[in-house]
Amino acid sequence: MFDITALGELLIDFTPCGTSEAGRQLFEQNPGGAPANVLVSVSRLGQKAAFIGKVGDDMHGALLKKTLEENDVDTSGLIADPNVFTTLAFVTLTDGERNFSFARKPGADTQLREEEVNLEILKNTRIFHFGSLSLTDEPARSATIYAVEHAKQYGALISYDPNYRAPLWKSREAAVKGMRSVIKYVDIMKLSDEETALLTDIEDPKGAAEALLRQGVKCVVVTLGKDGAILVTDKVCVQAPAQTRKVVDTTGAGDSFWGGLLSRFAEFHVNPADISESQAGDFLRYANIVAGLCVEKRGAIPAMPYRKEVEEIYNLRLDKF
């Protein structure tokens, strides 16, 4: 039984790494992709994880597969396709904030087909997580819906992170329609304060969360940058502050946060609709610690902290923060 399975993009983030002797920008090859980042996060935090998706049968795809396996993420659902190239993302950083340029026309992650989705994994997972980037293009869009529907049928908790990336959608209108189309399947959802209006037409985080609850989502978490995050259900509304850390690179910060939160739901077998106020505060605090440690390092997957690092901070008295 897997605690958490994710489907979606697995790619290389080329992140800035100084300049050459000739003064040219150097880029570092870092494994990434939001669903994969989440899985490495939960795996390093002690949960059993599995990945479903596609890479190219190339040097980058081989590195990505090896990276997941080195982090104890099951790759039996990962396809290496010789007909397409592994997706690449070139990241520029300004004061630790990211801008992306993608090589994805098409990228391997967009080419996953329904018949390639490993249903045996879905039959044996407690939480199924996906994002919106696998909804941008066919055949991956249909494969994603197919996987979500089957995971829900098999009794998994459905987790969703819209993770809006404007360059990968044909238009803002297409993004809004695509990202909203799957809300009806979702049990627990993460979005940033910059995505609230895209998903609900409401900018206010609490108001947006309540709108999503009315559509059937059981638990909504809105990340608020330096102000931490807010968790809302029909019964509770809890906000927890972010960790104060030295920011090196925010790549993967949201994914590490979500990995931290999902790991708590998996470990304590909590139904999102029934989470108590004290549990919500505890889960948010834990996830914020995970994200705080992540941003102190470059890259996404390489920066995901281990459980021991997180617990060293988590076990400190609250008045130490």
What sign results for the dihedral spanned by CA atoms 184, 187, 190, 196? positive
**For the chain, what percent of residues have pLDDT higher than 70?**
97
Helices and strands per DSSP (H, E), number in the chain: 10, 13
Strand partners, 30: 13
**For the segment 6-48, what is each residue's pLDDT rounded down to a tens digit?**
999 999 988 888 899 999 999 989 899 999 999 999 999 999 9
User: Mean pLDDT across the chain, nearest whole number?
Assistant: 93
Architecture of domain 2-319: 3-Layer(aba) Sandwich (3.40)
Tell the residue number behind the tokens 């490495």, with chain if given: 40
pTM: 0.94
- Token pair recorded at residue 176: 């809004």
- Please list, in sequence order, all residues whose beta carbon lies within 8 angstroms of the beta carbon of residue 84, skipping any fewer than 6 positions away: 54, 56, 106, 107, 108, 111
DSSP, res 294: H
What's the average model confidence in pLDDT over 250-274? Answer: 94
pLDDT at 97: 64
- Domain boundaries of the chain, sorted by first residue: 2-319
What's the average model confidence in pLDDT over 205-223? Answer: 98
